[in-house]
Amino acid sequence: MLKLGVNIDHVATLREARYRGLTHGEPSPTEAARRCEVAGAHGITAHLREDRRHIQDRDLWQLRAAVQTRLNFEMANTPEIVAFALKLKPEIVCLVPERRQEVTTEGGLDVVANEQALTETRKRMNDAGIDVSLFINAIPTQIQAAAFVGAQFIELHTGRYAEYFADESECEAELQRLISGAQQAHALGLRVNAGHGLNYENLRRLHRVPHLVELNIGHSIISRALTTGLSTAVKDMLQLMSGYPGVSA
Ligand code: PXP
């Protein structure tokens, strides 16, 4: 069965828009994670960015205590965040680029250029019992380098596939790259996840990519939750207002 990891960063983005700098506020990423798990999600993904633009340190500690499925910690390969991950002990980390020089032209991690540093971090994580995934584009040299690093997983970057979904030939070309990337990774003994930009429209076509273990999806699920949940939210507020004793004009 293809598994779903829900990325809850966007829940924190919404909270930070109103409560930045405070230690409380809504919506709660942990509450969102609980609801995702109850609905059947197989894992929860959160990215602690170096600039802390959405998820905060405290969110990760709360998530660590609350998540019953699998916590996937997205992170840059920097000393501060590596030390944090080793304390947090998620089930898996996904190493992602945050700085320009760590990024390939298409947007994934440049494993070829950072092979040694990534291998060191991979070993430290594995020694602590944490699996390692590398977020990369479906480029043969990057996939080969991910195997050299000794990662357990790669996460294929589906951003370009999603971006060009309406353009038949570009989308098909990108799909073919994802298909051969997944085949190559599988042959090298890597397990294959995928994510970025996947939504309710473009997901079905991705079924053609073989060997997929898990999809990490955030924005489209959180966006849909806003519209599907809006009528209940409005009704609940109207209910609270209904006891108003004053006389309205
Ligand atoms: N996978 C990785 C490595 C990501 O960085 C992101 C975006 O935070 C996602 C998956 C989810 O992307 P989206 O929010 O577009 O579904």
> pLDDT tens-digit profile of 196-233?
999 999 999 999 999 999 999 999 999 999 999 999 99
Q: Is the pLDDT of residue 66 over 80?
A: yes
Is residue 100, in this structure, part of any structural domain at all?
Answer: yes
User: Of 64, 65, 180, 73, whose CA–CA distance to 121 is shortest?
Assistant: 73
What residues pair up with 45 in beta bridges, in sequence order? 7, 72
Is residue 135 within 6 Å of ligand 1 at its C-beta? yes
Instruction: Give the nearest ligand 1 atom to 135 CA.
Output: 3
CA distances from 249 to 235, 242, 246 (A): 22, 15, 10
Query: Is the CB–ligand 1 distance for residue 159 below 6 Å?
Result: no
Q: How confident is the model at residue 1 (pLDDT cuts 50, 70, 90)?
A: very high
Identify which has the larger pLDDT, 9 or 243: 9
For residue range 6-25, list pLDDT tens digits in order: 999 999 999 999 999 999 99
Q: Is 74 a catalytic residue?
A: yes
Does ligand 1 lie within 6 Å of residue 218's CB atom? yes
Catalytic residue list contains 31:
no
CA–CA–CA angle 2, 47, 223 (5° rounding): 65
Q: Which of 3, 4, 51, 74 to mutate to test the pocket of ligand 1 (most atoms within 8 A of CB)?
A: 74
Q: Is 151 in the pocket of ligand 1 (CB under 6 A)?
A: no
How far is the CA of 78 from the CAs of 30, 55, 81, in angstroms? 25, 17, 6
pTM: 0.96
Count of other CB atoms within 10 angstroms of residue 167:
11
- Active-site residue flag, 42: no
**Residue 246 resides in a domain:** no
pLDDT at position 162 is: 98
More confident residue, 153 or 105: 153
For residue 44, what are the domain limits? Answer: 3-241
The answer to whether position 140 is within a domain reads yes
Give the C-alpha separation, 75 to 154, whole Å: 14
Does an H or E element contain 87, and which?
A: helix 79-88
The tokens for 187 are 């042959």
Flag whether 248 is in a domain: no
Whether residue 150 lies inside any domain: the answer is: yes
Is 31 among the domain residues? yes
Please, which pLDDT band fits residue 195 given cuts at 50, 70 and 90?
very high
Residue 168 lies in a domain: yes
Mean pLDDT of the region 146-150: 98
**215 is a domain residue:** yes
Q: Is the CB of residue 245 less than 8 Å from the CB of residue 33?
A: no
- Number of folded domains that form the chain: 1
CATH classification of the domain holding 93:
3.20.20.70
